[in-house]
Amino acid sequence: MKKHARKLQSHDPVCGKRINRNKAHIVVEYKGRDYLLCCPLCQAEFEKHPEKYSR
């Protein structure tokens, strides 16, 4: 049986780094989805170009 539970992506869309969700990270909401960012720099970049990183 396949598991297809929808879960939050676990990679930083900006730098591609894997996010350990047990550790501190930044969550940005964009168009109703939550995106995990590893650091304020990636957050700033994401917020500059959300369309580029949200797909």
Q: In whole angstroms, how close is the CB of 50 to Zn ion at the nearest point? A: 14
- For residue 19, state whether it binds Zn ion (rule: CB under 5 A): no
13, 19, 35, 38: which one binds Zn ion (CB under 5 A): 38
Q: Which is nearer to Zn ion, 38 or 53 (CB)?
A: 38
Q: How far is CA 11 from CA 21, 36, 37, 39, 53, in A?
A: 10, 7, 8, 12, 11
Q: Are the beta carbons of 40 and 30 closer than 8 angstroms? A: no
Q: Which is nearer to Zn ion, 26 or 31 (CB)?
A: 26
Let me know how long the chain is: 55
